[in-house]
A and B are shown apart, each in its own frame.
Chain A
Amino acid sequence: MTAGPTSEPDTRGSRLHKRRRPGEQAIRAFLFFCGALSILITIGILYELGTESILFFQDERVGVFEFLTDTFWQPQVGRFGVAPLVLGTLYITVIAMLVAVPIGLLAAIYLSEYASSGVRSFFKPVLEILVGIPTVVFGFFALTFMTPLLRDIFGTSVVGFFNVASAGIVVGILIVPLISSLAEDALRAVPDSLRQAAYALGASKFEVSTRIVVPAALSGIAAGLVIAMSRAVGETMVVTLAAGASPRNFDLSTDPIFGHVLNPFQGAQAMTGYVAITANGDLSYNSVDYNSIFAIGLTLFVITFGLNSVSRRFVKRFRQVYE
């Protein structure tokens, strides 16, 4: 700015700054509204899950204590214990993790440490396609491929048409790409100087990968695993189609643990499966069935939110190390 007469201070600049610009303000307000809408969504979710759950617990057949401790989910006779549905969900999740963690982690190590760019450009798209396939198609796959396969291997008398194992394995396949991509990101974030230092000391590629890179990326990997777990808990279509529509009610004092409670070859309805099946039927508003899906939804929300928070904590720790 050229120096003008100095007798009076030049205020043009500051006046321009303060000039009202209604258009700018309106655009800013709209953009803020778009951002704030996400808070409205969260409030909406919490409010609906909360109020409908309260209605559910106000029903005289339902009690909070029974909901948390009873091991029977039989709405027809007024028993509302969430344990069988949680059992179904957790069992499927555990099987899925058993399948997906080794495959996903080893795949990530290969892609990050070993693969040449040619190999990567073959495998990465495959994993991306797997991510893009809708879960209902995986459900179809579980029912028409995995279940018959298990029944062929172990015998139709052992393996039920609806079973936890088939659902768990297919959910596992579903989350492999998630684990491998998150873990690969974590492995690649490990600074190259660590690798070079280890090579300089004479370590082989195997030793560098397993003793230097993986431990260094551990919290990032753990975050990925927890996210994948949360995804498995919330997965709906595969468990609805393959794990059956009857909750696995159990009585710990009389039922054999591996014959019934933890039998992988029998069906067990999961939380998401219950919600989907119940909502798919004729559902009248304000019935106890209608309210019950929100109570189950709230349980599901709490579990996944908890898992996601744990994962975020891991990520934070990971960041602190390298940033």
Chain B
Amino acid sequence: MTVEAPERKATDHFPNREEYQSLLNRRSRWARLFQLGCLLALSIAVVALATLLYTIVNDSFGLVAVVNENEPETLVAGLGYDPETTALVDVEYDELVGLLETSVASGVGRRLEREQRFYEDRLVFESEQVWSEVCSSAEPPAGCTAGPRDHATVYALVLERVVVPDVIAAYELVPSLVNPEAFEAEVAAGFEAGRFGEHTADEASIEWRSWFNLTFLRTPQSATPEVAGIRTAILGSAWLILITLLFAVPVGVGAAIYLVEYAKPTRLNDFIQTNINNLAGVPSIIYGMLGLAVLVRVFEPFTSGAIFTDGVPPAENGRTVLSAGLTLGLLALPVVIISAQEALKAVPDSLRQAGLALGATRWQTVRSQILPIALPGMLTGTILAIARAIGETAPLILVGAASFITSDPTGPFSKFTALPIQIFQWTSFPQVEFQKLAAAASIALLLLLLTLNAAAVILRNKYSRRA
């Protein structure tokens, strides 16, 4: 910083009092500005996070205007219950099936039954004779082998097929709380302008809707946004976590043990280490391509389960939950290795030397001296790495998590969908209802990841208490 100094005598080497003061002021002004700027930058990060969470929550709840084909209260009253005290979801399983039986066209009913039957021991829509014919045909429908439906799925069917709700307008959380009248006015104006097609104003009811609720978590995916849920996606993600863990933990920990405990600094081992660091920087979508080209196509007999059965393979192609889980495992592997290495390197060398000096072999030393100490640290890093992988969407898109799957994954060779895929699909639809679903599914995904992270933190705390 240069300051224009006034003319002064040759003997007067030091600034006078005012000059000194102004220099000092200037210095501290800049310093304060800079510190404020830094704090501002950090606050922007906080604001960004807050805005993101606010957007998700804001979109997951709020007022909606719904038009039902059949009001749930009328249905409940028709079954002889008091609509004041009993909601449609509380009604018995048999009565829900009865509602379907009376209101759904028999063709549709037969199709539903062939997808999955309603009772183990009797048929609702099909006759026994046709059913046994269909089931003994060359390609029996899924309903022949799968178990009966449960209450949640039948309730979803009743909503979808009997109540047929149609959300014609939706509002966000904060405006719904602050100014609910504005929404009513908006809906009324919409009716006047004829924006809602053939619906009339008295058909519509304005009600409060939490898009994120228990039913949402328990019902399977559906093309009708009003009744769609994420059970299928949650189960898909759970399978992915399981397969990713089973693959990445043993292999990653094994590789880390090799590199830290066994590897001498040869050129090959250096190359392996550099290579792992490189792999950690490869974009996730490229792992997706690897999964598509190798796991889905080259290893199709394995990933579709064809080599495990003599006749019909469990899946028609390699786009299964197994392929996707292994892809995520490959993606997580470098990070798992690196964090496991950190944990192993933190074990003091004296323990290794003590073990070896007592005559233990290298593996005995590793197994009984080093692993018990390093394991909690390794698991913490591993869980964090896998939590990152579970949130990935791009590799799943490439490996081909199908977007529209309504049946739960039943094994490693199932077709599946997963939470990030579901969010992606719903976000890319233009209708406002799907935006709400995407927001609600985001909450579910964040909660799932939070659980995984919490598990990691608990492990870490337990570990540091022992140390």
Query: Which chain A residues have a beta carbon within 8 Å of chain B's beta carbons?
Result: 21, 23-24, 27-28, 30-39, 41-42, 44-45, 48-49, 52, 102-107, 109-111, 114, 123, 126-127, 129-130, 132-141, 143-145, 173, 176-177, 180, 204-207, 209-210, 227, 230-231, 233-237, 240-241, 272, 275-276, 279-280, 285, 293-294, 297, 300-301, 304-305, 308, 312
Contact = CB atoms under 8 A, between A and B. Distances in A.
Contact of B289 (A37, A39, A49): A49
Nearest to B261: A31
Which residue among A134, A176, A231, A272 has the maximum number of chain B CB atoms within 10 Å of its CB?
Answer: A134
22 contacts: A28-B362, A38-B279, A45-B287, A45-B289, A48-B294, A106-B42, A107-B38, A126-B49, A132-B387, A134-B392, A134-B446, A137-B52, A141-B55, A236-B394, A275-B289, A275-B398, A276-B394, A279-B288, A280-B403, A285-B297, A301-B286, A304-B282
B322 interface: no
B398 A135 contact: no
Contacts of B379: none
A276 B286 contact: no
Contacts of A33: 254
B37 interface: yes
Interface of B: 27-28, 30-31, 34-35, 37-42, 44-46, 48-49, 51-52, 55-56, 59, 250-255, 257-259, 262-263, 269, 271-272, 275-279, 281-290, 292-294, 297, 330, 333-334, 337, 361-363, 387-388, 391-394, 397-398, 400, 403, 420, 423-424, 427-428, 435, 438-439, 442, 445-446, 449, 453
A126 B446 CA distance: 14
A136 B285 contact: no
Contacts of A205: 31, 35
A209 B33 CA distance: 13
A39 B273 CA distance: 10
A194 B362 CA distance: 43
A267 to B, nearest CB: 13
Contact of A237 (B56, B271, B424): B424
A318 to B, nearest CB: 15
A279 B398 contact: yes
Contacts of B281: 227, 230, 304-305, 308
A127 B438 CA distance: 24
Which residue among B262, B281, B400, B435 has the maximum number of chain A CB atoms within 10 Å of its CB?
Answer: B281
A176 B387 contact: no
B272 A36 contact: yes
Given A44-B290, A45-B286, A106-B38, A137 B446 contact: yes
Secondary structure of the B contact surface, majority rule: helix
A73 to B, nearest CB: 17
Contact of A133 (B257, B438, B439, B446): B446
Nearest to B269: A35
A147 B281 CA distance: 29
A135 B252 CA distance: 24
Given A34-B255, A35-B259, 11 more contacts: A38-B275, A44-B290, A110-B39, A129-B49, A132-B391, A133-B52, A140-B56, A206-B30, A275-B285, A294-B289, A304-B282
Contact of A39 (B38, B272, B427, B445): B272
Given A48-B294, A300-B285, A237 B333 contact: no
Contacts of A130: 45, 48-49
A127 B279 contact: no
Given A32-B258, A48-B294, A297-B286, A107 B42 contact: yes
Contact of B38 (A109, A145, A230): A109
B387 A102 contact: no
B251 A107 contact: no
A279 B278 contact: no
A103 B45 contact: yes
A170 to B, nearest CB: 9
Contacts of B428: 241
A26 to B, nearest CB: 10
B285 A272 contact: yes
A310 to B, nearest CB: 11
Contact of A279 (B255, B397, B439): B397
Secondary structure of the A contact surface, majority rule: helix
A297 B289 contact: yes
Given A45-B282, A130-B49, A31 B289 contact: no
Nearest to B399: A279
A54 to B, nearest CB: 13
Given A42-B278, A133-B446, A137-B445, A204 B285 contact: no
B286 to A, nearest CB: 6
Contacts of A114: 35, 38-39
A35 B56 contact: no
B423 A136 contact: yes
B444 to A, nearest CB: 11
Nearest to B254: A34
Given A24-B361, A38-B276, A114-B35, A144 B435 contact: yes
Contacts of A234: 282-286
B38 A110 contact: yes
Contacts of A105: 41
Nearest to A180: B45
Nearest to B263: A35
A300 B449 contact: no
A321 B330 CA distance: 35
Contacts of A49: 286, 289
Contacts of A230: 281
Contacts of B400: 279
B255 A35 contact: yes
Contact of B393 (A109, A123, A135, A207): A135
B28 A204 contact: yes
A123 B362 CA distance: 43
A312 to B, nearest CB: 8
B31 A39 contact: no
A236 B331 CA distance: 15
A223 B420 CA distance: 31
Contacts of B41: 102-107, 110
B449 A42 contact: no
Contacts of A209: 34
A157 B259 CA distance: 58
A52 B292 CA distance: 12
A38 B334 contact: yes
Which residue among B35, B271, B297, B387 has the maximum number of chain A CB atoms within 10 Å of its CB?
Answer: B35
Nearest to B54: A145
Contacts of B297: 285
A134 B391 contact: yes
A173 B48 contact: yes
Nearest to A51: B293
